[in-house]
Structure 1
Amino acid sequence: MIKYIIIIVIATGIVLSLIFGIEYSCQGKEVFPTYFGSPFIFKKTSLGSSMEFFYSVSGLIVNIIIWSILITWINRLALRLIQKSRLKFIFYSIYKTVVVLLLLFSILNIIIDSSLMGNGFQKGLNYWYIDLDKEAEDWEMNCDGKWILLKVNKLPA
């Protein structure tokens, strides 16, 4: 049971960190937030503050499920390879070290993102689902997504 909780925490950290993902930038007459997906859209920037983000609950859950499945598969593959190796103790020690580092990385990302979270579930706002296509159409914006690797949020000058 604890193994699955660790996998979910690591998956959450990977999703929130935007190590791998898609960044959607929109062009048009209006200023529009930037959207992020990993692979599904789950996060958008605030137009009021460069340090605040709004999250889609369903997008976050779906992304965590996808990453949990992928991490579970990678975990099983790694453990099989370790069992077949002659240097089981060394590789298992490296495996445990990597898991602990990923867990610490994930916990740090969860803490940081929770401090940057927007004002929760306010009246009239839908945080269950972000429909980028509908919002772009309503505001006559053209949105393009690009794959990102190791997205680093820059602090304002």
Structure 2
Amino acid sequence: MKLTKHLMIPLIATGIVLSLIFGVEYNCQGEEMFPEYYGSPFVFKQKSLGSSMEYFYSVSGLILNITIWSILITLINKLFLKLIKKTGENKTLKILYKGIVILLIGFAILNIVIDSAMTGSGFQKGLNYWYMDLDKEAKDWGMKCDGKWIMLKK
């Protein structure tokens, strides 16, 4: 049972990262066309300039974001379990807890399926790659990038 729980937390974290429930959108201005970048909080996703329905991903950005969100979800989970224990194993809270977990797992799976369908092909710099260096790319192209906090951006 514990192994399942430890697999569920990164799964839910992946869904939160990919959904951009909370994230940062980077728009860059300059003389060139430049893709939009997304972070949660680290940059992990780049919108393709060739198609509005295609995105490229950074492996390291995804791993870092999933790790951060997994830690936050673990802390929230511990707090919720303490609350359930403090209320004398309240049946209503237990049902609510299980319902929320099931909804989050469904949400995560949906986001993973959608984003996998929108993933651009290829694995090299400028496409899906190990890392995305937004600052270096912007500097190389003479762009100025500003990030703004976003919620529920798909």
Runs of at least 4 residues off by over 6 Å: none
Aligned counterpart, 2:121: 119
In structure 2, relative to structure 1, the CA distance for the partners of 1:14 and 1:62 (3 Å cut) is: same
Counterpart in 2 of 1:143? 145
**Matched positions, count:** 152
Distance 1:123 1:134, change over 3 A: closer
The within-5 A match list for 1:27-38 is 27-38=29-40
Which sections of structure 1, spanning at least 5 residues, go unmatched? none
CA distance in 1, matches of 2:78, 2:84: 10
**CA distance in structure 2 between the partners assigned to 1:13 and 1:125 by the alignment:** 21
Q: 1:63 aligns with which of 62, 65, 79?
A: 65
Map Cα deviations across residues 36-68 of structure 1 (whole Å, 9 max, x no partner).
000000000000000000000000000000000
- Aligned mates of 1:125, 1:138 — CA distance in 2: 17
* Corresponding position of 1:129: 131
Letter in 1 for 2:69: W
Q: What secondary structure does 2:26 align onto?
A: strand
Gap change, CA 1:65 and 1:54, over 3 Å in 2: same
SS of equivalent residue, structure 1 residue 133: helix
In structure 2, stretches of 5+ residues that fail to align are none
Where does residue 111 of structure 2 map in the other structure?
109
Identity of aligned residues (%): 66
TM-score (norm 2): 0.95
Question: Aligned in 2, Cα 1:99/1:116: closer, same or farther, shift over 3 Å?
Answer: same
**Which residue of structure 2 aligns with residue 99 of structure 1?**
101
**Displacement after TM superposition at 1:114 (Å):** 0.3
TM-score (norm 1): 0.93
RMSD, aligned α-carbons: 1.4
Instruction: Name the CA shift for 1:123/1:141 in 2 (closer, same or farther; >3 Å).
Output: closer
Partner Cα separation in structure 2 for residue 31 and residue 143 of structure 1: 12
